[in-house]
């Protein structure tokens, strides 16, 4: 062996190992997910009021950012009205609940900017998406499930109202009219996808936004947080559905409802996964 190579080899073996690595426990390199806290089963209303309080502290920036989603929703609704497919308004409205958690990222940034005594703005809300590759992956996943939902709802609409099949072939759920039967069937389809997205996104979005864990761990933490507090979390989900459906009667309400729900979700996250 050449002398130079022998010297390098002997130098590698003689390099002392840092003491902190020697004393490190064997399992210290394992990744441990965060442990969720148990909250009161009736916490949903408290989270909602916390969201309302946060909205009142920065109403302008919150409503301006919410206007982006409101305008998109109104445009979609006008298109459905134009093509005379009004029953599709319900699936479109429910589709927001599938992508709402990931859309709340901008509101989290507004809240953070406000807490840090900054000036919340639309620009700061948009900046929330930069530097978070995991959030983009989660957004793509949510968008894919949203596309599945809209496609299935459109197929279901064609079956019920397109006249291509015998209406007697389709389940009626005890209704004689087609519209409520379509609504029930669409709700059951939405529930399946909604449970999946709710389990994945409920806590993973704020966890990734604050860079506390990786994407796989964030999804695991999200599911664990729901399983630890099933009554409180499904109570919150039910409240979100009610607020969205009420806002459909007067769409400008979304300018307030969306930020309140986003800030309420943040209050839920900080209680279940507090850093204390």
Closest listed residue to residue 54, CA positions, set 114, 106, 103, 118: 114
* pLDDT score at 3: 54
Query: Using an 8 Å Cβ cutoff, are 206 and 106 in contact?
Result: no
DSSP symbol at 163: S
Rounded Cα–Cα distance for residues 29 and 14 (Å): 25
Q: Which CA distances in Å does 258 have to 110, 130, 228, 233, 248?
A: 13, 22, 26, 18, 12
The DSSP result for 197-209, as a single string, is HHHHHTTHHHHHH
Burial degree of 250 (CB within 10 A; 0-12, 13-18, 19+): exposed
DSSP symbol at 226: H
* pLDDT score at 82: 86
**Average pLDDT, stretch 74-95?**
82
Residue 128, classed as helix, strand or coil, is coil
Mind listing the pLDDT tens digit for each residue in 24-41? 444 333 345 688 999 999
Asked if residue 43 has pLDDT above 80, the reply is: yes
Rounded Cα–Cα distance for residues 142 and 102 (Å): 8
Rounded Cα–Cα distance for residues 184 and 172 (Å): 9
Domain ranges across the chain: 40-272
Half-sphere exposure at residue 149, Cβ-oriented, CA atoms within 13 angstroms? 29
Q: What is the pTM of this model?
A: 0.79
* pLDDT score at 167: 57
Mind listing the pLDDT tens digit for each residue in 60-82? 999 999 998 889 888 888 888 88
Return the ∠ at Cα 134 (arms to 24 and 220), rounded to 5°.
60
Asked if residue 58 has pLDDT above 70, the reply is: yes
């Amino acid at each position: 062996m050449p002398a130079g190579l022998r010297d390098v080899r002997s130098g590698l073996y003689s390099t002392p190992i840092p003491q902190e690595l020697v004393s490190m426990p064997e399992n210290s390199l394992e990744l441990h997910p965060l442990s969720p806290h148990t909250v009161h089963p009736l916490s949903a209303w408290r989270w909602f009021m916390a969201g309302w309080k946060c909205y009142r502290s920065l109403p302008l920036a919150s409503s301006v950012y919410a206007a982006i989603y409101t305008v998109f929703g109104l445009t979609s609704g006008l298109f459905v009205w134009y093509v005379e497919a009004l029953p599709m308004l319900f699936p479109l409205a429910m589709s927001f609940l599938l992508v709402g958690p990931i859309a709340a990222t901008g509101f989290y940034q507004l809240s953070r900017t406000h807490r840090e005594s900054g000036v919340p703005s639309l620009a700061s809300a948009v900046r929330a998406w930069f530097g978070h590759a995991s959030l983009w992956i989660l957004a793509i996943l949510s968008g894919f499930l949203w596309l599945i939902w809209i496609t299935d709802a459109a197929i279901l609409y064609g079956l019920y109202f397109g006249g291509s099949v015998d209406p007697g072939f389709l389940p009626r759920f005890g209704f004689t009219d087609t519209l409520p039967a379509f609504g029930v069937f669409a709700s059951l389809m939405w529930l399946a996808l909604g449970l999946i997205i709710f389990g994945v996104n409920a806590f993973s979005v704020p966890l990734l936004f604050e860079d506390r864990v990786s994407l796989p761990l964030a999804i695991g933490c999200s599911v664990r947080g729901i399983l630890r507090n099933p009554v409180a979390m499904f109570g919150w989900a039910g409240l979100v559905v009610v607020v969205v459906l009420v806002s459909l009667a007067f769409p400008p309400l979304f300018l307030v409802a969306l930020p309140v729900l986003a800030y309420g979700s943040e209050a839920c996250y900080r209680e279940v996964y507090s850093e204390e």
